[in-house]
Structure 1
Amino acid sequence: MDISLVIFDQLLQMFFIMMFGFILVKIKFLNMGGSQQLANIVTKFVIPIVLMLSFQQEYDSGQLQLLLTSLIGALAITLSRIFIAHTVLRNRSKIDRYAIVFSNTAFMGIPIILPILGYEGIFYLSMYIVVSAIFQFTYGIWMLSEGNQPITIKSILTNPASIGAFVGFGLYITRIPLPDVLYNSLDTIGGLSSPLGMILLGGYLARSQFKEIFFVKSNYWIVFIRLLIAPAVALLLIWLLPINDPSVLLVLAIANCTPTAVNTALFSQLYGGDYEYGARIIILASFFSIVTMPLVISLSTLLLL
């Protein structure tokens, strides 16, 4: 399947789900209190379940080595963005820095990778999702709370993302599959992650003004860095790393160019910050990613594969 068509299809789905959230707020059915509760459910319960289920694969020692390789690539990408956030954007807001570092990998990455590489690709992608989630629950919260939520060993090991990842990896190593009825139930709950995130984003959009999204020049600078500069830097790092498996390289290339994470708005609402501004950056980045993602992925395949 053509990657451009897959990306377009996903963005179109995102748009319709967002519009549902938009309507809920406009008809005054979803208020700020409801949004806060939904944000807590997604970040503290649904995301850990998604991470745990990503490890429900048949054990393979060779695949485990490739999983470690994808972990190294994910760390390289994330750390390169933290470096950009604290150098190029050191004088910008905490929302801008968060928007540069974290991406909407789960919602955009999974539907693109699945038809291309199947569940093996999702298995490798799980490392990027796990790394991103752990950094969001530690470094991201620390940054958004301006240090009021410090990074500690306890916060690294006991945040919801880490718990979900550790439980999932433990089941993978011990080769303990979940019973079908339990797996299917948790999979249904995990499937709520993306729709609920888009509904919340549509609600944020309903509380914003259109001109604040598309007619503020500084928004475009952040999106330019997020969609082109940061992926280019990370692409260079991936090229320098000793990664040879084409499936892992393609997964990292796709994860590298996904747009700004929905949690930019969700976490801002939970831990302090202008969540409406975060929502505007997400919307603008998602809009332009329909062009930049195929471009960056094509460049990645030429350089890496």
Structure 2
Amino acid sequence: MDIFLHAVSGVFVILGMIVVGYFLSRAGWFDEHSKTLIAKLVTQLALPCYMLSTIMSDFTTKELKALLPDLKFPIISMSVLFVVAVIVSRILKIKQNHRGLFESMFFISNTVFVGLAVNVALFGERSLPYVLVYYMANTTFFWTLGVYLIGRDGGKTGHLDVRQTLKQIFSPPLLGFMLAVVLVLFHVKLPTFLMSDFRYIGGLTIPLSMIFIGIAVQSAGISHVKFNRDNLGVLFGRFLLAPALMSLLVIPSSMPILMKQVFILQSAMPAMTNAPVVAKLYGADSDYAAIMVAETTILSLIVIPVLMLIMN
């Protein structure tokens, strides 16, 4: 019961910040420009600083070297989920113009805006490198296969911009993580004032991420949340199949228990926040994507404490 209450408490911490974003958005504080600004502040400034500050302060060379071999688990999990997503989309007879979005949201999760905040709230900063290992696989899948699938919905098939794809994969958060790892491996110490700057700026990551989610939920409109064939299929993939498959992969392994818990939670995060943006860019149904992001985000607040109870 204590574990369940801890999980619920962690979720309420996150929910409180989401509610702030939701009601400030309802009050008209944010427009599309400010929403984009918050996303940029998190992904291009706060999160890279957070990576540098946390990893350089809390992790040793030995710990970091032990991480990368376990990258295979999210890669295997998402590969299997993709195959299942294609099969399920055919079985459920998902509309042609929704099929790519359905498949991408089925097997790819929101590992930064929600996943990072959830894991840090529940497990502390010791979970950060494990979050980032999963993120490396997740972001690669989204900006390659995921973007291709969404583009197919909008009638833009058969072409991937390699330069743009590499730019999205090697995003500021991942580059911040990689730089921090290199500095730790070579035992480089940065000046104290610089580390303090990284820590203060990195502290913006979680509150701004949650406020962004609140804005996104308000923009999509809770009244649009519904349970039809498309939506239930995505919910099945995100909240049932993904964590079940990841559990089967990691439980028999020798990785640390915390890493197993982080991987399972990361696999069960909501649909990618970037999905509506990419859908709009490629002429796919961005409204459908936005509703699914909002719906999976809201329901994740129920799923997370249940998963914590099961894992403990």
TM-score for both structures, normalised by structure 2: 0.76
Determine whether 1:110 maps to 2:111. no
Contact 1:66 1:124 in 2 (8 A): no
Distance change >3 Å, CA 221–CA 296, structure 1 → 2? same
Alignment of 1:77-116 (within 5 A): 77-89=77-89, 91=94, 92-100=98-106, 101-103=108-110, 104-114=114-124
CA shift for structure 1 position 220: 3.2
Aligned-partner Cα distance in 1 for 2:190–2:281? 32
Contact 1:235 1:300 in 2 (8 A): no
- List alignment gaps of at least 5 residues for structure 1: none
Contact 2:4 2:309 in 1 (8 A): no
Structure 2 equivalent of residue 182 of structure 1: 194
RMSD: 3.4
Distance change >3 Å, CA 210–CA 3, structure 1 → 2? same
Alignment of 1:39-78 (within 5 A): 39-56=39-56, 57-61=58-62, 63-78=63-78
Structure 1 equivalent of residue 128 of structure 2: 122
Alignment of 1:262-301 (within 5 A): 262-265=273-276, 274-300=285-311
Contact 1:21 1:199 in 2 (8 A): yes
Alignment of 1:143-222 (within 5 A): 143-146=149-152, 150-151=161-162, 154-155=166-167, 158-214=170-226, 216=228, 218-222=230-234
Give CA deviations for 1:134-184 in whole Å, capped at 9, x if unaligned. Answer: 444554445445566534584477433442232122112112133332223
Q: Decide which of 238, 242, 253 is 2:264's aligned counterpart.
A: 253
Aligned-partner Cα distance in 1 for 2:39–2:3? 30
Partner amino acid, structure 1, of 2:105: A
Partner amino acid, structure 1, of 2:296: A
How many equivalent residue pairs?
295
Contact 2:275 2:289 in 1 (8 A): yes
Give CA deviations for 1:58-83 in whole Å, capped at 9, x if unaligned. Answer: 4243x244313432323333333333
Distance change >3 Å, CA 206–CA 285, structure 1 → 2? closer
- List alignment gaps of at least 5 residues for structure 2: none
Structure 1 equivalent of residue 27 of structure 2: 27
Aligned-partner Cα distance in 2 for 1:145–1:43? 23
Give CA deviations for 1:92-135 in whole Å, capped at 9, x if unaligned. Answer: 44443333311332111121122xxxx44433333223333444
Structure 2 equivalent of residue 5 of structure 1: 5
Secondary structure of the residue aligned to 1:258 is coil
TM-score for both structures, normalised by structure 1: 0.77
